[in-house]
Amino acid sequence: DTEVTQTPKHLVMGMTNKKSLKCEQHMGHRAMYWYKQKAKKPPELMFVYSYEKLSINESVPSRFSPECPNSSLLNLHLHALQPEDSALYLCASSQDFNARNTEAFFGQGTRLTVV
């Protein structure tokens, strides 16, 4: 199984809503990532978890709150988002955060629209 599964595929939320994005992998990877991708742009790193601990937060606003309940799951909790937060949110995993020669496996993404 070389899949990273993200749910939901599409999400529309109002600016006062609270929602969560979910990501799951069963490859035994110990590093998991959240990326944000705007149209016609490359993915931008948001957060990195290594061995279930938050290792990197790329100065992401607090309205985005990541959580790693266990080594297979990664959540992104959303609250009071702005329309400019509308984007494709990608989850990825890799074998080990410190292993430079391993690739990241990406999920299919959640297309988020904030209205």
Partner 1 sequence: AQSVTQLGSHVSVSEGALVLLRCNYSSSVPPYLFWYVQYPNQGLQLLLKYTTGATLVKGINGFEAEFKKSETSFHLTKPSAHMSDAAEYFCAVRGDNAGNMLTFGGGTRLMVKP
Binding-site ranges for partner 1 (CB under 8 A): 4, 6, 40-43, 45, 48, 55-56, 88, 90, 92, 97-101, 103-109, 111
Closer by beta carbon to partner 1, 43 or else 66? 43
> Three-class SS of residue 84?
helix
Provide the CB-side half-sphere exposure for 48 (13 A, CA): 14
Closer by beta carbon to partner 1, 75 or else 79? 75
- Shortest Cβ 65–partner 1 spacing (Å): 21
Closer by beta carbon to partner 1, 80 or else 95? 95
Do you find a cis peptide bond into 66, omega within 30 degrees of 0? no
- Shortest Cβ 10–partner 1 spacing (Å): 9
- Shortest Cβ 80–partner 1 spacing (Å): 26
> How far apart, in whole angstroms, are the C-alpha atoms of residue 33 and residue 93?
6
- Shortest Cβ 54–partner 1 spacing (Å): 12
Give CA separation, 57 vs 19, 47, 62, 71, 112, in Å.
20, 5, 10, 18, 20
What's the full length of the chain, in residues? Answer: 115
